Structure 1
Amino acid sequence: MANSNIGVLSCSGEECLGGTISRLATRKMLEELRKDQTVTLCLPLYLTGGEEERAFAKEYPVITVDGCSKCCARRATEKYSGKVSATVIVSHILGEDIALCKTVSSKYLTEEQYKMVDKVAAEICKHFDKIVSK
């Protein structure tokens, strides 16, 4: 985590497409779009008491990426570490019907769904750039 200064915490929702898209968009940030500038935090570990995850979120800016309006990632961060710097909600970007439809394994995503991942990742980048410019 030493070279990383902004955390991205995605939901772990396995039951809907929004959760899959949130995780893939977060991974795209980590591996391509803001490589060496971001760290991803693990929501299940965070929820079960991961001290390193929680400590990072207390000290550094965190962008949460939630698949739906339940905002589990944002609520967990605020509960255990404080206010988040930004929240991206996939269902607000793509619409509830799309985000809440049945989960599709990342092995079987369509080209259109990969474009959705890109759209969500672009939104995360906007928040990232705004945080960095402050």
Structure 2
Amino acid sequence: MSDIQVGVISCSGEECLGGTLSRLATRKVMETLRKGKVVSLCLPLYIAGGDEEREFAKEYPVIAVDGCDKCCAKRATLKYSGEVKDALVLSELLGEDIALSKVVSARDLKEEHYHMANNIAKEICKKVDEVLAE
């Protein structure tokens, strides 16, 4: 099972902090923490009809990382590819006030926001590790 990759589809919402943090955390997992084991799926491409994204999600386990309780990443996966293996909703993890905050630009992020992204990345890693252990 070590050759299997896990797809992570993160929120693409740019109007709230939860979306920004979900993308930062997913990139960190993919590029550093679980390099070679995680593939990031592009939600806008996925929704627009990206066959590669959708086919990957049919063949491999996918974890949805959503910024708020709209759960766009999870819903798109369910609609176009089937069940998600696991999901993380940042408004549940961080609280709605933080996740829906209007601080969204990278130039406006403070150290505390990067700390949040690191903690979210750790949560994603736990879920990836559970999937890989199966």
What interval of TM-score do these two structures reach, taking the shorter chain for normalisation? over 0.9
Indicate the residue corresponding to 2:126 in structure 1: 126
Structure 1 spans left out of the alignment, 5+ residues? none
State the AA in 1 paired with 2:75. Answer: R
Count of aligned pairs: 132
How big is each residue's C-alpha offset from its partner over 1:112-133, in whole Å with a ceiling of 9 and x where there is no partner? 0101001111110111011011
Map residues 1-134 of structure 1 onto 2, 5 A cutoff.
Answer: 5-134=5-134
Q: Normalising by structure 1, report the TM-score.
A: 0.95
Say which is worse superposed, 103-112 or 43-52, in terms of deviation.
103-112
Q: Normalising by structure 2, report the TM-score.
A: 0.95
The 4+ residue runs of structure 1 with deviation greater than 3 A are none
Contact 1:7–1:38 under 8 Å retained in 2: yes
Query: Helix, strand or coil: the match of 1:128?
Result: helix
Query: Helix, strand or coil: the match of 2:21?
Result: helix
Structure 2 spans left out of the alignment, 5+ residues? none
State the AA in 2 paired with 1:128. Answer: V
Report the aligned-residue RMSD: 1.1
CA distance in 2, matches of 1:14, 1:37: 26
Say which is worse superposed, 55-64 or 99-108, in terms of deviation.
99-108
Contact 1:9–1:73 under 8 Å retained in 2: yes
CA distance in 2, matches of 1:112, 1:38: 25
State the AA in 2 paired with 1:18. Answer: G
State the AA in 1 paired with 2:35. Answer: K
